[in-house]
Amino acid sequence: MKVDISQLKSDVSTLKSDVSILKSDVSTLKSDVSTLKNDVSILKSDVDTLKSEFKDYKDEYRRDMKKIDLRLNATNERLDSFKFDTDLLIEKNAKLEFRVNRLEKNTEV
């Protein structure tokens, strides 16, 4: 019976030690979970910040593209006007050359 009691005491001591180890492991796991929750919270905050920054960049890009479109349209209008002016000058030059040629022919006769 003494052996049984001694064995039981040993088993109880082992179980107590195992329970203590398990408690320590659970405490470590709780700490890890808490750390992970904190990390997730930080990541969510970072994602929100990135979304906001991306939205700001996207808005800035759109504003820049509108400015570029306006400048491009203005430049195209100036080029079209220049082409019109050039065509008009070519036409006037052709008329003057025609008159000069006609006058030269009239003076030759």
What is the maximal distance between C-alpha atoms in the chain? 155
**How far is 49 from 4, CA to CA, in rounded Å?**
66
Per the listing, tokens 């003494």 go with: 2
Which tokens is 73 given? 């349209």
Burial track 1-31 (b if 16+ CB lie within 10 A, e otherwise): eeeeeeeeeeeeeeeeeeeeeeeeeeeeeee
* pLDDT at residue 109, as a whole number: 64
Q: Confidence class of residue 82 from pLDDT cuts 50, 70 and 90?
A: confident
CA angle, 13 as apex, 11 and 19 as ends, to 5°?
A: 100
3-state secondary structure at position 109: coil
> In the predicted model, is pLDDT for residue 2 greater than 80?
no
Give the pLDDT band of residue 107 (cuts 50, 70, 90): confident
Q: In angstroms, rounded to a whole number, what is the distance separating the alpha carbons of residues 7 and 18?
A: 16
Confidence at residue 54, expressed as pLDDT on a 0 to 100 scale: 98
Domain boundaries, the chain: 1-78
More confident call, 107 vs 43: 43
Read off the pLDDT of residues 36-77 as tens digits, 9 standing for 90 and up.
Answer: 999 999 999 999 999 999 999 999 999 999 999 999 999 999
pLDDT exceeds 80 at position 3: no
The pTM for the full model equals: 0.52
Q: What is the pLDDT of residue 81?
A: 85
